[in-house]
Amino acid sequence: MKKTISSISAVVTLAALFVMPMEAGAKEMSGKDLAFNRKLGNCLGCHAIDGGTQPGNIGPPLVAMKARFPDKAVLRAQIWDATVKNPNSMMPPFGRHKALSESQIDKITDYIHSL
């Protein structure tokens, strides 16, 4: 029994070495950093965003977002899972697939809404 607890403790400690730095780094990233990051939000993969380089053209340009989404919660829902409103959407369901954390989605939503 003592060896099992020790083994579990070692696994938890080892996992923390890999998970905690990634979470800490992600928490420090701004919404813009997350949106422009090709390995995280990757909004530029499909959308043109002012200040972004090599934007895609699959999705609409992200401009006048407050006018397009007066209710920020609707924009967040779209980022969380665009297939709710449009089952044929090409946009990945970032929240439903847990590709981004809730905090990351909040930051991206705040940034996109500010455009």
Instruction: Go through the domains of the chain in sequence order and give each one's CATH number.
Output: 30-114 (1.10.760.10)
pTM over 0.85: no
Residue whose pair of structure tokens reads 């990945």 in the numeric block: 92
Cα gap 25→80, rounded to integer Å: 21
Q: Quick one: pLDDT at residue 65?
A: 95
Tens-digit pLDDT string for the chain (115 aa): 455 444 444 434 433 433 333 444 445 899 999 999 989 889 999 999 999 989 889 999 999 999 999 999 999 999 999 999 999 999 999 999 999 999 999 999 999 999 9
Q: Quick one: pLDDT at residue 20?
A: 38
DSSP per-residue string spanning 55-78: --SSSPP--SHHHH-SSHHHHHHH
Residue whose pair of structure tokens reads 């609707």 in the numeric block: 74
Q: Quick one: pLDDT at residue 28?
A: 83
Q: Quick one: pLDDT at residue 18?
A: 39
